Structure 1
């Protein structure tokens, strides 16, 4: 192997900053939504204390869970941005948002369990429901949630072709609010049904809402867990990298791809060629590939490739 063919790091991004394209925009909006929910929380709790309304107090406590989840998301944005250039993070801070998303998924899962337990209890032990008092609370909560959902609506950027999940931290916060909106709709339907005499509708709606929230939590857990465990995020991008690297008849004997952050991926490739070309040749083939931000390429002679190939090599 010549000096030019030694393993070499392709610095597609010299700054090693792998934050999403809309990081600052998403951070600002997350903080704004957090403030809106916090203000709503204060109004609900204050109103509950003034009127001795348990309905308002319960709604306030429910909003407190949203504020906690949004604070986690907002803090993740701030932490990732502040330490983006910290060399202690070998591959940047782009995954901080995935960790926050996983935490919020756990919160959603716990919420689903608590909702299910309380709903089943009320099915077995029915209590009086003040539908007229609950109606404006449910409607007001739905309006606030819809406004916050609109503010946190994810944007689509060109680099997302190979990363359709986009900013998972924002998606987690948005999914949290989506679950709340779905619960609010179910609550409104239950209230209207209860006013017509179907008293079982209220706890039944709670059970259905718990199942729905659990589904949201499971989806988010899988997405965040896949990123944190470095599961291949894009078979399409992997296939494109393999195609470009073998464009001159070379063999890609080992290829690993993983996510670094929203819209950013890293790849490690070992290529067997006879005769081997300079590493710069293979780097040039991958230049400009959307979503690929960090590449390590090792080139071996054709005989070396045969000697080192084993069944464990392949796509990562």
Structure 2
């Protein structure tokens, strides 16, 4: 029985990243874009909340509250980028700091869910206790807020790298920030439609009703993000396609995979642990995975073909 050990198999060292820096290919670019959008959203937040209070518009206030959540979320995302970069070479992190983005995404999903509850509660209160809305003043400000949000959505659009095709989430940190703003754009569209209906048709209930619809949309986005980030943090297999390719390569020379685990280390980076019987030594097995996009860290245990435990393996 042999195990892949960098000290015992120096010939395999060049096949995979041994520095354990598993940051995304666009890490610095995404960090800069996140800080830029944070500043834009902070200015928009102030304008929306001031307008919502001054014009007594729940739809506009809901957009402002949602934007406040975005500012907090963007600060978390930008901070995660900075911390991951700063501690990328810290040996205390056994598998690097690439998962900080997933942790930030999960935290932002929780914030998004709380925002949905806040908007829903306040909208229900306004629906039962309606207040007059200054539609003429609120509409232009809501339209301006939507324009700013759409600009930020465009600035944070995720890149589609080659490695990301093996990992449907790609850089989940910037995807989470993008999702926050996409949700805000959807809420803003609903708010504009409601205010237009209130102004033209006199439907006073439309404004708080739009808040409830917005709350439902935000809750939906929050659930999607919780599911994706939670799966990454709990090491759910990220790609059946990549797992199948790893297995096929390891079994290409008469080997048999007895146990296989694949999980995310960071955007575009995955780790593989495998037990292989009859496929040569550990270095040979590692060499078969050389050049496979998305695989950055490999640990192999090689067993002889006649191993008595060969019928008790598992593939994950």
Q: How has the CA–CA distance of structure 1 residues 259 and 134 changed in structure 2, closer, same or farther, with 3 Å as cutoff?
A: same
Matched, 1:224 2:226: no
Instruction: Give 1:152-301 correspondences, 5 Å limit.
Output: 152-195=156-199, 196-273=201-278, 277-301=280-304
Aligned residue for 1:299, secondary structure, equals strand
Contact persistence 1:8–1:298 (CA under 8 A): no
Matched, 1:40 2:40: no
**C-alpha distance in structure 1 between counterparts of 2:21 and 2:218, whole Å:** 34
**C-alpha distance in structure 2 between counterparts of 1:239 and 1:57, whole Å:** 49
**C-alpha distance in structure 2 between counterparts of 1:43 and 1:188, whole Å:** 16
Aligned residue for 1:118, secondary structure, equals helix
Q: How has the CA–CA distance of structure 1 residues 57 and 302 changed in structure 2, closer, same or farther, with 3 Å as cutoff?
A: closer
Matched, 1:315 2:315: yes
TM-score (norm 2): 0.91
Report deviation, 1:42: 4.4
Matched with 2:122 is 118
**Structure 2: which 5+ runs fail to align?**
7-11
Matched with 1:18 is 22
**C-alpha distance in structure 1 between counterparts of 2:220 and 2:64, whole Å:** 24
Matched, 1:302 2:299: no
The worse-fitting range, judged by mean Cα deviation, of 127-136 and 58-67 is: 58-67
Contact persistence 2:65–2:115 (CA under 8 A): no
RMSD: 2.0
**C-alpha distance in structure 2 between counterparts of 1:210 and 1:60, whole Å:** 13
Report deviation, 1:285: 0.9
TM-score (norm 1): 0.91
Contact persistence 1:268–1:295 (CA under 8 A): yes
**C-alpha distance in structure 1 between counterparts of 2:252 and 2:168, whole Å:** 26
Report deviation, 1:166: 0.8
**Structure 1: which 5+ runs fail to align?**
none
Report deviation, 1:251: 1.0
**C-alpha distance in structure 1 between counterparts of 2:127 and 2:45, whole Å:** 28
Report deviation, 1:14: 2.1
Report deviation, 1:64: 2.5
Q: Deviations over 1:286-306 (max 9, x none)?
A: 0000000000011001222x3
**C-alpha distance in structure 1 between counterparts of 2:259 and 2:196, whole Å:** 61
Q: Deviations over 1:234-261 (max 9, x none)?
A: 1111111000000112110000000000
Report deviation, 1:44: 5.2
**C-alpha distance in structure 2 between counterparts of 1:205 and 1:52, whole Å:** 19
The worse-fitting range, judged by mean Cα deviation, of 204-213 and 167-176 is: 204-213
Contact persistence 2:105–2:225 (CA under 8 A): yes
Report deviation, 1:207: 1.3
Matched with 2:9 is none
Contact persistence 1:161–1:290 (CA under 8 A): no
Matched, 1:144 2:148: yes
Aligned residue for 1:198, secondary structure, equals coil
The number of equivalent residue pairs is 306
Q: How has the CA–CA distance of structure 1 residues 192 and 98 changed in structure 2, closer, same or farther, with 3 Å as cutoff?
A: same
